[in-house]
């Protein structure tokens, strides 16, 4: 068998390549395990609380870099899309006071919006595609573009680059999919059973 392999140069080359592939694959696998960098769980948790609009209003190119900066001690109130609820959630995670939203980075919008391209006016310049941080715009050069509404985060970064001003930011219609059960108010920090027990205790003491 060995003599047959050596007598056929093509088979010998294939065997040699396969052997080198196994050796280098093993070395790469060992290096990946030996030198892998563990992610910071705090950064992951902060990033999961941010709205993932990748809008850059915080001064960073995306939510992940801003999460890394927060973990390093940066202010937690630079995200207008997330608003006060996101600030409160991050403050609760980090066990720090929750400041008000920094107005220098923008104002919190009460209504979520989505980009809409007036397709009959689109000239296919692709500038909006290049500006979109989440690849929510379909199209090609000199062809009509359109927005994938379910993927659009409403960051409005595509509006300014458009040379023909054919992009509008429209409010997202609220429906069953967008509706969330409101958080019930907590009266005096007690739930119903606590109030019952508390009342019973007071009556017993009387």
In the numeric block, the tokens 């294939």 are attached to 14
Which has more pLDDT, 206 or 177?
177
The answer to whether 122 touches 98, Cβ cutoff 8 Å, is no
pLDDT of 189 above 80: no
Note if the pTM is more than 0.75: no
113-171 fold: Alpha-Beta Plaits (3.30.70)
Q: What is the domain partition of the chain in residue ranges?
A: 41-105, 113-171
As a CATH number, domain 41-105 is 1.10.15.40
Span 26-77, pLDDT tens digits? 888 887 777 766 667 899 999 999 999 999 999 999 999 999 999 999 999 9
Q: Which is nearest to 75 in space by CA: 58, 53, 55, 89? A: 58
Query: Which DSSP helix (H) or strand (E) runs through 86?
Result: helix 83-94
Q: Look up residue 26 and give its two tokens.
A: 């093993």
What average pLDDT does the segment 96-123 reach?
91
Domains 41-105 and 113-171 share a fold: no
Which has more pLDDT, 154 or 12?
154
What average pLDDT does the segment 185-202 reach?
51
Dump the DSSP string for 184-199: PP-STT--HHHHHHHH
The answer to whether 146 touches 138, Cβ cutoff 8 Å, is yes
């Amino acid at each position: 068998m060995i003599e047959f392999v050596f007598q056929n140069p093509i088979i010998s080359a294939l065997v040699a390549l396969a052997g080198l592939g196994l050796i280098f694959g093993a070395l790469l696998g060992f290096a990946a395990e030996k030198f892998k960098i563990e992610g910071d769980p705090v950064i992951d948790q902060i990033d999961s609380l941010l709205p993932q609009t990748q809008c850059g209003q915080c001064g960073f190119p995306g939510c992940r870099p801003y999460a890394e900066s927060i973990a390093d001690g940066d202010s937690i109130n630079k995200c207008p899309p997330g608003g006060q609820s996101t600030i409160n959630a991050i403050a609760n995670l980090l066990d720090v006071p929750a400041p008000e939203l920094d107005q220098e980075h923008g104002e919190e919008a009460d209504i979520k919006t989505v980009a809409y391209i007036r397709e009959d006016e689109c000239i296919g310049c692709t500038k909006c595609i290049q500006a979109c941080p989440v690849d929510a715009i379909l199209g090609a050069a000199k062809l009509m573009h359109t927005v994938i509404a379910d993927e659009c985060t409403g960051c409005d970064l595509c509006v300014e680059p458009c040379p023909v001003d054919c992009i509008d930011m429209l409010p997202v219609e609220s429906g069953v999919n967008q509706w969330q059960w409101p958080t019930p108010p907590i009266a005096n920090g007690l739930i119903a059973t606590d109030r019952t027990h508390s009342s019973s205790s007071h009556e017993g003491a009387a």
